[in-house]
Structure 1
Amino acid sequence: MAARIDHLVTSGTFSLDGGTWDVDNNVWIVGDDEEAIVIDAAHDADAIFTALGGRTLRAIVCTHAHNDHIDAAPALAARTGALIHLHPADLPLWQQTHPGTPPDRELSDGQVLTIAGTDLTVLHTPGHAPGAVSLYAPGLGAVFTGDTLFQGGPGATGRSFSDFPTIINSIRDRLLPLPAPTVVHTGHGNTTTIGEESPHLDEWVKRGH
């Protein structure tokens, strides 16, 4: 059976630099009726476990280590036996949320994760966070961008561990060259496409989003 993309929204808080904000997060599940991976285990391990519907969870993949994207990861891992994958450049952020409980596997640029016969290529796309990654699944015509690229522009870069020129370079060099019809599944908010976003790069740069 071909892989598919399932989606749920979980709610909680994002905390960094002494501030806390209420947020809704997208959780993406990629797989078939037998096995799946979870991209960003946010806020509610029980809801994510229920959404798996009895499938074997092969991996928990973190697009980056802001607490709202990883807070439910250890609980989900404990419940399913799945291993947590994170780019090592985000370990300092991870440790703010889960001190003493490191992730299980390192993600690296160009690495390929395979689930239900579908390949997802890891693209290191720093800027929102040093270890931010996107996951490109050409067989699904999709890319999972975490908080690197949203409908309407790049992710926020006004807090610790982030950098605006870096995120612009990541989007320009790693994401916008993908085929225009590629569906962009984001960490928050609505889905978009590469083709819808690519014409706006210059205006993002000018406004220093």
Structure 2
Amino acid sequence: MAARIDHLVTSGTFALDGGEWDVDNNVWIVGDDHEAIVIDAAHDAAAIEAALGGRTLRAIVCTHAHNDHIDAAPDLARATGAPILLHPDDLPLWLRTHPEHTPDGTLTDGQELTVAGIVLTVLHTPGHAPGAVCLYAPELGAVFTGDTLFQGGPGATGRSFSSFPTIIDSIRDRLLTLPGDTEVRTGHGDPTTIGAEAPHLDEWIKRGH
């Protein structure tokens, strides 16, 4: 059975630096009829488990550790036995949400995760958060960007642990070098493509200064 991408939207609250915002998050499930990984276990572990439909969950991959991307991860891990994977540079953010439950494993730049016969390569893309990562799956023609790149520009960098020059470097060097027809599966909102976003880099830089 060929690997595919399943999509779930969950809703909850993003909280940082004393503020709270209602958000809708994209949860991505990559796999086949037998096994899968979850990218960003947001808000509703029961809904994510239901979307898995009994498939073996190989890993819960966190693109970064803002609470809205990880709040359901421990409950999903307990329900499925799957390990939670996070880049270690985001551990301080993780511990703000889950001080009692540390991740089970780390993500490193260039690491390869295999599920349903396809490989997802970890790209460390700091800026929105120090340990932000994207996952590139060339066999699916997709990159899962978390909050690093959206339709219309970079993720937000106006809060703690973030840096606008760093996210621009990450996008320029790690993402815009991918094939133009690569579909960008984002942490919030609609998908886009690398080719649609690449021409606007200079605009983002001017806007960000």
For the aligned pair, the TM-score class normalised by the smaller chain equals over 0.9
TM value normalised by structure 1: 0.99
Aligned to 1:179: 179
Residue by residue, what CA displacement relative to the aligned partner does 1:61-116 show, whole Å, maximum 9, x if unpaired?
00000000000000000000000000000000000000021000000000000000
Query: What displacement does 1:37 show?
Result: 0.2
What residue identity is the alignment partner of 2:82? A
Q: Aligned runs of 1:118-157 on 2, under 5 Å?
A: 118-157=118-157
What residue identity is the alignment partner of 1:134? C
Residue 5, structure 1, aligned to residue 5, structure 2: yes
Query: Runs of 5+ in structure 2 lacking a partner?
Result: none
What residue identity is the alignment partner of 2:33? D
CA distance in 2, matches of 1:192, 1:9: 17
Aligned to 1:109: 109
CA distance in 2, matches of 1:89, 1:100: 18
Q: Aligned runs of 1:1-209 on 2, under 5 Å?
A: 1-208=1-208
Query: What displacement does 1:164 show?
Result: 0.1
CA distance in 2, matches of 1:54, 1:79: 11
CA distance in 2, matches of 1:192, 1:128: 19
What residue identity is the alignment partner of 1:169? D
Query: What displacement does 1:23 show?
Result: 0.2
What residue identity is the alignment partner of 2:98? H
CA distance in 1, matches of 2:84, 2:92: 16
Query: What displacement does 1:154 show?
Result: 0.1
What residue identity is the alignment partner of 2:161? F
Q: After the TM superposition, which parts of structure 1 deviate over 3 Å for at least 4 consecutive aligned residues?
A: none
Q: Count residues with an aligned counterpart.
A: 209
Query: What displacement does 1:2 show?
Result: 1.1
TM value normalised by structure 2: 0.99
| DSSP-derived class of the 2:93 partner | helix
CA distance in 2, matches of 1:106, 1:52: 23
CA distance in 1, matches of 2:36, 2:91: 25
Residue by residue, what CA displacement relative to the aligned partner does 1:155-186 show, whole Å, maximum 9, x if unpaired?
00000000000000000000000000000000
Two-structure CA RMSD over aligned residues (Å): 0.6
| DSSP-derived class of the 2:84 partner | strand
CA distance in 2, matches of 1:107, 1:190: 26
| DSSP-derived class of the 1:166 partner | helix
Q: Percent identity?
A: 82
What residue identity is the alignment partner of 1:30? V
CA distance in 2, matches of 1:144, 1:4: 13
What residue identity is the alignment partner of 2:81? G
CA distance in 2, matches of 1:106, 1:36: 18
CA distance in 2, matches of 1:18, 1:77: 28
